[in-house]
Amino acid sequence: MRFRSIIAGALLVVWGASSASAAMLISEDRGGQIGHYLQAFAALRSSGEDVVIDGNCLSACTLVLGLIPRQRICVTERARLGFHAAWMPDDNGRPVTSPMGTQALWNIYPSRVRSWINHHGGLSRKMIFLEGHELSSIVPACGTQTRSASKEPRSHHRAMRLVRYGTASAARDSR
């Protein structure tokens, strides 16, 4: 319940089922402050819920890859992850790259994600996108992955309680 209070107002229950078969649906999340995502995804990890990425998961949202166990994440064919260097606003509100924040992102990403980022120019001010076949070679496609506990095939949005982010995100509640 703590996770839901962190992003209060940003969640919409889409499907009804037992909490043991729950899944968080991430769709059109533009990211935000790293700290908010660290807190939200740590709570989600503790909840045991699965994560379905269906649409954009950009910037700090991509931390989901390092904070939620791989066997609890899947991507749809619409999923697209966007990576860039961390930044903070200067005194005039202009973005300035944060080496410390960028290193924090780097340390959280799994090695396969870091390898892909390196292969595509590294983390910089320019957003790079991981999608399609490249993404499904790193993160299992929904419907093809098995849950580690039950060893039963994961369904694609069936028999799960899906909770959607929509346009709001874990970082948006304090802005």
Domains observed in the chain: 2-174 (3.90.226)
Structure-model confidence comparison of residues 166 and 116, the more confident one: 116
**What are the DSSP calls for 110-150, one per residue?**
-HHHHHHHHHTT-S-SS-EEEEHHHHHTTSPBTTT-B-TTT
pLDDT, the chain, mean: 78
The stretch 143-172 carries a mean pLDDT of: 43
pLDDT of residue 143: 86
pLDDT at 165 over 90: no
pLDDT, tens digit (0-9, with 9 covering 90-100), for 3-37: 332 332 233 232 233 334 579 999 999 999 999 99
pLDDT at 157 over 50: no
pLDDT at 151 over 90: no
What's the whole-model pTM score? 0.73
| Count of other CB atoms within 10 angstroms of residue 125 | 10
